[in-house]
Chain A
Amino acid sequence: MIINCLVLSLSGNFAYSQSLVSGTVSDTLQKPIPYVNVFLKAQNEDGIIAFTTTQENGSYELITDKVGNFELTFSSISFQKKTEVLSLEKGKNYNLNVVLKEETFSLDEVIINSEKAITIKKDTIIFKADAFKKGNEESVEDLLKNIPGITVENDGKIKVGGKEIEKVMIEGDDLFEKGYKTLTKNLDASVINKVEVYEKYSNNRLLKGIEDSDRVALNLTLKNDVKNKLFGSLKPGYGLGFENRYDASANIISFRKKDKFYGFTNFNNVGLETTAALSEMMDSGEGNELGSTAKTQTAASFINLINHKPDVGEERTNFNNAEMASLSDIYTISPKLKLKTIGFLNWDENDFFRKSTDTYFLPTGDFTTTEDYRLYGKTFSGFANTQLTYDKSKTEIIEYSGKYSGNRTRTNTSLQFNSDLSNENLNEDPFTIDQRFKYINKLKANQALLINGYYVHSDNPQNYGNNRFLFEDLFQNDNQIIGVFQESRQALNTAGFDAGLFTRRTNNDLWEAKVGLDYTYNDYNSVFKLDGIDKKPEEFQNNSKYKEFNIFFEPSYRLKLGSVALTGNVHFAKHFNHLEAEDQNLDSSPFFINPKITVDWELNKTNRILSFFKYESKNPSLRSVQNGYVLIQYNRFSKGLENIEPLRSSTFYLNYTLGTILSVFYANTSFIYVKNYDYLGSKSVITPDYTLNELIRLKDKDFISFQTDSNIYLQWLASNIKLKLGYNKQNFQNSVNGNLRKVSSSTFNYGGELRSAFIGPLNFHIGTEWFNSEYKTTIKQKNITNRTFLDIVYQPLEKLNLSLNSSRNYFSNLDKDNNTYYFMDFEGKYQIIKNRLSLSLVGKNLLNTKTFRNINIDDTGIFKSEYQLLPRFLLLKANIRL
């Protein structure tokens, strides 16, 4: 009995340690009020510790285990707030009925504008960095991973909303352009104050809202106390095995209030082009922006020793030894004036090995030539860029940029052509200065004026020598000729000026009008000498000047009519061309009207048509007017056409999309038809020893192409099947050894791919594609090639990623023993200390394929080539952040 009692009182105590406060809330007319907030606070404290709302009948119940003096508050939007003081004791129940007086609660247009973690403005989202730090961030990249909407891929690529960003700026300065990974991987997260995401970003702030942009850019603002630190990383990589292979790089970054600085260096002999880093830094991606029509021309090379490389990945055939260093800097001279400089130096040594067997099928007979070619080249290249930006006012910007680039390339070859052994050497020293001036004025909120001026000077001297004379039949030879020399040079000067007015109308249509003029002065010079007799054969010399003056006007208008977007554009241009050659002068002054109309029609959710038609007249290119033969390869001469009459063409393009990438079936089909009313075709003389090639003016060339891709997603297999089908055909004429003939070439390609999207750690992508090409003249040449690949990725742990890429290349026209090539590459990456240290093992050409043969055809013959490849190597790489 006593025990029973004890248990009862214990449980009772337990239950009663909570207090129940209940009651009803009613208005002054004794009607119950539902949905009144009832909350309990300790007396004179802010914190609510318990709360409830009243039921339909006005009743409420609140349970708490707290004791002491409390305030119970009753609040509702249409009643006066009422607070009752309540002294709570353990285990007691309280009943509190209250009557609330009616009162209007009103808040008129209250705007909440305090500093929030995320601030949204039109096209800009600002994130306060501290609100997104979890404490384990090392680099900016880690911080960005925490920010909503930003993803950082394994390779450091940053995407906002799935779209790669344009650039990452620091306090509005863009030091890295596309090479921003260096910044985000190395800069310490703790120095960041705010991350700003600019959507619909325009590289030029004044064009914002006028041009169509779907670009995204990031801007990082720094905390005030961090402007004197240095950041950087080291990435050594060294070969495992006997061969001395390496790929090492290092970088350093510093930001000061007025000066932002970045240095980068790389050394490798694994086939990587170090100049890629430069193009990454220089690619400002102005492709789809409003703006200049300035041409980025440089003086061309006459001689190109390597005319094509096989399609197996450039690094497989590039035996190199490269060292590069670059520095870039942005210096703020005054708040309105900024100076950006980039300097880049690169040394590279390259070896390249090729053996070819070319079989010609010509109207005058068939023959075969053989070649065994070894090239050794040394290149030193330098580049400097200065850009001065003056923000004159809120609506005006003036910009000057000057680029200076130069190369010094020395190439020596050893060549066995047919039975002749020879050595060539080629010295090249191209140099280009490109100066630009830009003025932008935002006249109105929806209207901007752009003025561009530019001047480009480019000079490309080449000195070539061969210690063997290969042209016995071409020049009279009394055995005294011991070799050939050619000194050639193209010098190009171009200057221009244009102005554009861009108006975004209120209905969102875009009006553009451009007007401008440019002048190009092109000087060709080549001297071909027979060594030993010191003779300069006629017709193999060039000395011509080509001047083009052009004045143009180009209005365009874009409008949207329901589901159809129409763009109309006409380019009106008056040209004055003058060609000055040794024997004659030519003048032409054509007037061009080049219209283009584009239709983008979205029929409904699953059908979309994009189409354009254009008619174009243009001048022959600068290189096609040279009047004498110039040596372009050891046994090949080329000559232009002394004719500067315009060339005319029409193009029709149609693209049809069925479904979207989101639907189970998705297909994309394109058709293009190009008709050249006039074109420059080739007239060649091909002999076993040499080739002479000259341009001739011909009429009517057709090109049609049809490509389609169909995708079916199979849910039961979690994989997509893709089928590719394509056909293109070209009809034209050329002349070979005196026979003018019709040539018809076609390519038919088909293939399929299967790609998995498994949820597990293993995924694959397999595919194959066949190319059948055919050239038809009086005879038919056929070539069939196939490429099949299998890529596998295995990620058993978050820190470990393994990938294996393999491919098979097959050429039907090569002999059975040599017609199939396999490649396999491997990469394994393991993270030891997150964001501080990772190790990777890279294996290239694991099957150790030492040579690669391929075959190409054209209307004159079959060309078989054999390339030497970088042998198998394994590289152990580390990535260390300093």
Chain B
Amino acid sequence: MKYFLLFFLIVSVSYAQTGKIVYSSVLNFGGGQVNKTKNNLFFTKDASIYQPQLKRNNKTEKDQNTKEDAGNNRNVEINIKVGTDEIGNLYYNNLHSRTITCREPIYNNSVLKYYLYDDNASIKWVLLDEFKGISGYNCQKATTTFRGRNYEAWFTSEIPLSFGPWKFSGLPGLILEVYDLTGEVYFSSEHIQIPFKNAESKVQKPSVDTILEHREFIEKSNKASSTVIQAMRARLPKGAKLVSSEIKRNGIELEYEWDTE
């Protein structure tokens, strides 16, 4: 009888250490397509994985429409949405090694290829004495500057997890909302389920794709995307108003630790 009880306890403990949190994200960089996705964060006792909810692989799409306005100006609008494969971006956060294994794509000359890199950056949070309630949870504000953006996060110590969306983690409570001050990056929790039965099988370190050094990956990615952006600008039709603008690094991360070297 005693054995039975013990067995039951162990099972329930291993369940308790898993869970699933759904985050919605709204990303937009300099007027590109608003990328709003739902993402799952699965966690076990020592690791988590953050991945988009994908129904299928999404193609990289170009959408062009030409309209004539009242002044007989031709407006050609080109809209590009870089696609995903059926897995999408993954962020595997291992508490033990304190690294995040990231799976992200590079779109180079019409080919989408995924790579893996280990990100060792740790986010240094500053806690503030500001609070707000989110669906009944008392949340405290924390701020950080991470790779070129200033973020505000609202976490609750009432849910004793140090995980969060994307690469965010390391607060003494679950992050329910985090956004950057330009409004270009926004994550918020939608749904929490603890425990979650299948989490153990989901939280696996991604391993199939080509592995690159973090810096190597970023450099390769920058090169590919600046080629695409410049090519598009250079392909604007005649009469499309030429307005010079700076090409900024687009994405959640705007600068890297090694940039100042």
Contacts and interface: CB of A to CB of B under 8 A. Distances in A.
Q: Verify that A and B bind, or say they do not.
A: yes
Interface stretch (A71-79, A379-387, A486-494, A513-521): A71-79
A713 B162 CA distance: 46
A154 B70 contact: no
Contact of B230 (A34, A73, A757, A801): A757
A116 B177 contact: yes
A715 interface: yes
B179 interface: yes
Interface in A858-879: none
A47 interface: yes
> Could you tell me the dominant secondary structure of chain B's interface residues?
mixed
B193 interface: yes
**Centre residue among A48, A112, A279, A764 by max chain B CB count within 10 A:** A112
Contacts of A159: 31, 77
Contacts of A113: 135
Given A112-B176, A279-B70, 13 more contacts: A37-B161, A51-B127, A77-B160, A105-B160, A112-B192, A161-B28, A161-B33, A659-B110, A661-B232, A663-B110, A765-B242, A767-B238, A791-B238
B186 interface: yes
Interface of B: 9, 12-13, 15-17, 19, 24, 26-28, 30-34, 36, 45-46, 59-60, 62-65, 67, 69-72, 75, 77-81, 95-96, 107, 109-111, 127-129, 131, 133-135, 138, 140, 157, 159-162, 170-173, 176-177, 179, 183-184, 186, 188-195, 227-236, 238, 241-244, 246-247
A755 interface: yes
B192 A125 contact: no
A48 B28 CA distance: 32
A660 B191 contact: no
Contacts of B128: 47
Given A756-B234, A793-B244, A118 B227 contact: no
B76 to A, nearest CB: 10
Given A47-B140, A116-B188, A761-B244, A35 B95 contact: yes
A178 B46 contact: no
A148 B63 contact: no
B243 A77 contact: no
Nearest to A278: B70
B80 A162 contact: yes
A197 interface: yes
Contact of B160 (A34, A76, A661, A715): A76
Given A162-B79, A713-B235, A720-B235, A106 B162 contact: no
B16 A114 contact: no
26 contacts: A34-B95, A39-B172, A46-B140, A48-B140, A48-B172, A75-B172, A103-B16, A104-B16, A110-B192, A112-B188, A114-B134, A120-B36, A149-B34, A151-B31, A162-B77, A178-B70, A276-B70, A605-B111, A753-B238, A757-B233, A757-B247, A762-B244, A791-B238, A794-B244, A795-B243, A795-B244
Q: With a 10 A CB-CB cut-off, give which of B33, B77, B107, B242 has the most chain A CB atoms.
A: B242
A77 B231 contact: no
Given A713-B234, A720-B235, A118 B140 contact: no
A661 B64 contact: yes
Interface string A109-124: 1111110111010000
Interface string A756-773: 111111111101000000
Contacts of B161: 37, 77
A147 B63 contact: no
Nearest to A668: B64
A774 interface: no
A46 B131 contact: yes
Contacts of A756: 234
Closest 8 CB pairs of A and B: A720-B234, A149-B34, A151-B31, A713-B231, A161-B33, A757-B233, A75-B160, A276-B70
Contacts of B228: 662
B244 A760 contact: yes
A162 B32 contact: yes
B69 A51 contact: no
Given A149-B33, A662-B231, A760-B244, A77 B26 contact: no
Contacts of B26: 118, 120, 125, 148-149
A552 B16 CA distance: 66
Contacts of B65: 163
A583 B104 CA distance: 79
A280 B69 contact: yes
B64 A759 contact: no
A147 B183 contact: yes
Interface in A30-59: 34-35, 37-39, 46-51, 53, 56
B242 A793 contact: yes
Nearest to A722: B235
Nearest to A711: B235
Contacts of B172: 37-39, 48, 51, 53, 75
B193 A110 contact: yes
Given A37-B160, A118-B26, A713 B230 contact: yes
Given A48-B157, A161-B79, A718 B234 contact: yes
A803 interface: yes
A661 B193 contact: no
Given A102-B13, A280-B69, A661-B62, A793 B171 contact: no
B139 to A, nearest CB: 10
B176 A106 contact: no
Contacts of B17: 77-78
A661 B157 contact: no
Contact of A148 (B13, B184, B232): B184
Nearest to B183: A148
A621 to B, nearest CB: 24
B27 to A, nearest CB: 7
A103 B195 CA distance: 12
**Which among A661, A718, A759, A767 has the highest number of chain B CB atoms within 10 Å?**
A661
Contacts of A102: 9, 13
Interface in A722-775: 722, 753, 755-765, 767
Nearest to A279: B70
A146 B131 CA distance: 24
A104 B246 CA distance: 53
From B69, B157, B184, B244, name the one whose CB has the most chain A CB atoms within 10 angstroms.
B244
A153 B236 CA distance: 15
Given A161-B32, A279-B70, A105 B16 contact: yes
A154 B133 CA distance: 39
A38 B183 CA distance: 31
Contacts of A473: none
A154 to B, nearest CB: 6
A161 B34 CA distance: 5
Contact of A763 (B30, B70, B231, B244): B244
Given A160-B34, A164-B67, A117 B186 contact: yes
A879 B81 CA distance: 36
Interface centre among B127, B128, B241 (most CB of A within 10 A): B241
B238 A51 contact: no
Contacts of A161: 28, 31-34, 79, 81
A194 to B, nearest CB: 15
Interface in A85-111: 102-111
A248 interface: no
Nearest to A313: B72
A162 B235 contact: no
Contacts of B27: 148
Nearest to A179: B70
B46 A34 contact: yes
Contacts of A149: 26, 28, 31-34
B62 A111 contact: no
Contact of B45 (A77, A109, A795): A77
A757 B234 contact: yes
Nearest to B181: A134
Contacts of B19: 77, 107
B70 A280 contact: yes
A109 B191 contact: yes
